[in-house]
Structure 1
Amino acid sequence: MWGTAPAGALGPLDITYGSDSDNRQGRFRNGEFTATLPFDGDALYYTVTAQLQGAGDIDCSVTVDGHTEKAHASGGYNICHAQANAGVFGGWG
């Protein structure tokens, strides 16, 4: 995740990330947030979500096994949400 996101009345940018069985809290520092999780072959998805706190412009992405999903949010209390889903027949999409 990268961009500008000043702390608002409700505090700093609110970030959650993980998989269907592992949900974590992230921290936005110096205009970015990066995390690496161990791969779980049984996971149905990996996701990152961040809610702006009144202002900002951010991009977010999730990469699993070389496949990347991207999203963007700007202004207000909008949400950036990127999610990579496990395919029915394997792979990520």
Structure 2
Amino acid sequence: MRKTTIALLTASAGIAIACSSGGGDVAGPGAAAADAKAGGDAKTIVLKVTGPKKADVTYGLNADQSQANGAKLPWTKKMTSTEAMTIATVSAQNSGSGDIECEITVNGKVVKTNKSEGQYSIVTCTTDAL
């Protein structure tokens, strides 16, 4: 009985430590100030979608996503981030036929491009961690 209780307490403590050790998506108060003090350089990120006329565009940084339905093409969105690690993504579905393309630039350098062809095609560009 005593060995079972000790084993359960040890397992519970291990789980509590694993669950509380970093990795959360809530940075906490002062995190932005700490990034700035640590030299967190601002990244200028430009998302672009080109195609025939209109598209439904989903875009964002990290887990924060937004949507622009029926966006007139070419479509561009400029964002900045001081996060230590940033993942940018843009996905678009054209509203008819033709080619649709996406592009992501970071600080003026093209880091990702993609192209899809056909009726109501979908294209997605996602960066590696920036």
TM-score (norm 2): 0.52
- The answer to whether the 8 Å contact 2:114/2:123 transfers is yes
Whichever residue aligns with residue 128 of structure 2, its letter is: N
**Distance of 1:56 and 1:18 partners within structure 2:** 25
- The answer to whether the 8 Å contact 1:19/1:47 transfers is yes
Partner of 2:26: none
Residues 24 and 42 from structure 1, CA distance in 2 versus in 1: closer, same or farther, beyond 3 angstroms? farther
**Distance of 2:93 and 2:116 partners within structure 1:** 8
Number of equivalenced pairs: 80
1:17 aligned counterpart, secondary structure: strand
Query: Tell me, which stretches of 5 or more residues in structure 2 are unaligned?
Result: 1-48
**Distance of 2:124 and 2:99 partners within structure 1:** 13
- The answer to whether the 8 Å contact 1:63/1:84 transfers is no
- The answer to whether the 8 Å contact 1:19/1:43 transfers is no
Which deviates the most, 52-61 or 77-86? 52-61
Partner of 2:89: 47
**Structure having greater relative contact order (Cα 8 Å, sep ≥ 6):** 1
Query: Tell me, which stretches of 5 or more residues in structure 1 are unaligned?
Result: 6-11, 87-91
Residues 3 and 39 from structure 1, CA distance in 2 versus in 1: closer, same or farther, beyond 3 angstroms? same
From 85, 89, 102, the equivalent of 1:60 is 102
Q: RMSD in angstroms over aligned alpha carbons?
A: 2.0
Partner of 1:81: 124
**Distance of 1:79 and 1:63 partners within structure 2:** 20
TM-score (norm 1): 0.70
Residues 49 and 18 from structure 1, CA distance in 2 versus in 1: closer, same or farther, beyond 3 angstroms? same
Whichever residue aligns with residue 116 of structure 2, its letter is: A
From 36, 44, 47, the equivalent of 2:78 is 36
What fraction of aligned residue pairs are identical, expressed as a percent? Answer: 29
Task: Point out the structure with the larger strand share.
Answer: 1
Q: Kindly name which structure, 1 or 2, has the bigger radius of gyration based on alpha carbons.
A: 2
1:37 aligned counterpart, secondary structure: strand
> Which 4+ stretches in 1 moved above 4 angstroms?
none
Whichever residue aligns with residue 25 of structure 1, its letter is: Q
